[in-house]
Amino acid sequence: MRAVPFAMTLMIVGCAGGPLLAADAENGRTLAERWCVGCHVVSDQQSKGTDIAPSFASIAERTDFNEEKLAFFLLEPHPKMPSMALSRIEAKNLSAFIAEQKRP
């Protein structure tokens, strides 16, 4: 069979980027464990954190929490946080990871 299945083609097109790209929360976790653990409690698997920064779970619980807005926030330099020069994709993935921690 030489024909590429249609679904597969869609996947490849999706991975090439653009607005179709879905956020990848698993990648967000990896990023968070690398860049954010120093100050934030990034998941409930982390027993110790600092008091200086809100836990990701508490951020997700905020009533005004919005995954899209958070992704934009992460791209802006923030006075109390080091500038991390995240790519748009990384910012989306981190936001998706944080959004997952909202308890139902």
Based on the shown chain and the rule CB under 6 A, indicate whether residue 36 belongs to the binding site for ligand HEC: yes
Options 9, 22, 26, 38; binder of ligand HEC; rule CB under 6 A? 38
Supply 65's token pair.
């929490």
Beta strands in the chain (DSSP E): none
Q: Total binding residues for ligand HEC by CB under 6 A?
A: 18
**CA distance linking residue 13 with residue 91, whole number of Å:** 21
What is the number of other CB atoms lying within 10 angstroms of the CB of residue 41?
20
Stretch that binds ligand HEC, among 2-10, 17-25, 70-78 (CB under 6 A): 70-78
Residue with Cβ nearer ligand HEC (12 or 69): 69
